[in-house]
Amino acid sequence: MDEAEEVSQLIGDVYDASLDPGAWPQVLEKTCHYVHGVASVLLSQDSAQRSAEFHFSWGDDPEFTRSYQETYVKLNPLLLPMVLSAQTGEITANSDLLPIEQFVETRFYKEWAQPQGYLDAVSATLDKSATSYAALAVARHERDGLVDETMRRRMRLVAPHFRRAVTIGKVIEAHKVEAATLADTLDGLAAGMFLVDAVGRIVHANARGHAILADAKILRGLGGRLSATDLQADKTLSDVFAAADSGDAAIGARGIAVPLARDGERWVAHVLPLTSGARRQAGIAYAAVAAVFVRKAALDLPSPLETLADLYALTPAELRVLMAIVEIGGVPEVAPVLGISETTVKTHLSRLFEKTGTKRQADLVKLVAAFMSPLAG
């Protein structure tokens, strides 16, 4: 099988998994082989809570997964940099966030990553909130060296399709939906749902979809064609519908989240192609090439940690030390976790006191707590 055929089949499997979550482990296995990794996972992590959830995984050791969620997520020096720097849709290697020379000196590497043979990993950020993010991550074995350009390129090819599939899976909020009965199953969705052909002609809409069309503020059904009131959004939707007719891979990053405006509110449309895999049954039944899900967009809030860093002009290294002081304790405890000397920690701590106008570690803890609190002024 050549690469083009391999990636095309993989993308089709990714979209099928949006309707059948039980297929994710097999999809992750295929992704791992395609990207050239040894383990892969769909996970979400929260830097404020220092928590992690492995939603689906392949190739990981259950005992190490458990120990990560219980202990090592709190010691992971890559968690905070990922939340602060990675943007949705971006491909990031661990070695982009922390020099490998520093990473291999950390307690996290020595006790958790190294015993499994993990040296590096590449991640695609699928979603991001103020203090957390969701990602597709593929681990790289030490025998293969650091993440290379081939691994990045292949991850870039599949990442947009994972983003769309995961987003649609969240909209559907169903354990399993049979593609053959897609429309009937989704009629009860709170989100608007439309099945359309290659030119945007509506062949089915659920009750919420009909209500959105009747309102005519963000979408219209003039002449039986689904169109957006915003010209740019309408062009994007037309392009995505036409691309969906050519297969899963043709869509690329388009249609993951098409912004729609309505009286100052933000709405978004997500497009699921129906021309391949198990989904094809639904497409044939309704002469449709895509399903469109429409709902109100969640508000994107700036990260409180990012706000704190900007306010006090903190460097990434200073912010890592600050959060380690808050989460772990004093200088002797922080140094081995970050893989740096106590002298270096003290240097960063001195700069933190100077920049924030504080004098004690307890004051730094209170400062961070104030930024994390939703009641902070």
Quick one: pLDDT at residue 196? 94
Quick one: pLDDT at residue 185? 62
Tens of pLDDT, residues 181-237:
666 666 667 789 999 999 999 999 988 899 999 999 999 999 999 999 999 899 999
Model confidence at 77: pLDDT above 60: yes
Tens of pLDDT, residues 270-301:
888 887 776 766 666 667 888 898 988 754 55
**Which CATH superfamily is 179-296 part of?**
PAS domain (3.30.450.20)
Q: What is the pTM of this model?
A: 0.74
The CATH class for the domain spanning 304-372 reads mainly alpha
Q: What percent of the chain shows pLDDT beyond 90?
A: 49
The CATH class for the domain spanning 3-172 reads alpha beta
Contact 84, 120 (CB under 8 A): no
Coil, helix or strand for 70?
Answer: helix
| Residues 6 or more apart whose Cβ sits within 8 Å of residue 33 | none
Q: What is the mean pLDDT of residues 257-272?
A: 80
- What's the pLDDT band for 146 if we cut at 50, 70, 90? very high
Cα 273 to chain centroid, rounded:
20
How would DSSP label each residue in 156-187? HHHHHHHHHHHHHHHHH--S---GGGHHHHHT
Q: What is the mean pLDDT of residues 299-314?
A: 73
Q: Residues spanned by CATH 3.30.450.20 within the chain?
A: 179-296
What are the φ/ψ torsions at residue 56 (nearest 5 degrees)? -145, 145
Nearest to 259 by CA among 302, 295, 303: 295
Tens of pLDDT, residues 25-70:
999 999 999 999 999 999 999 887 889 999 999 999 999 999 999 9
Q: Residues spanned by CATH 3.30.450.40 within the chain?
A: 3-172
Model confidence at 250: pLDDT above 90: no
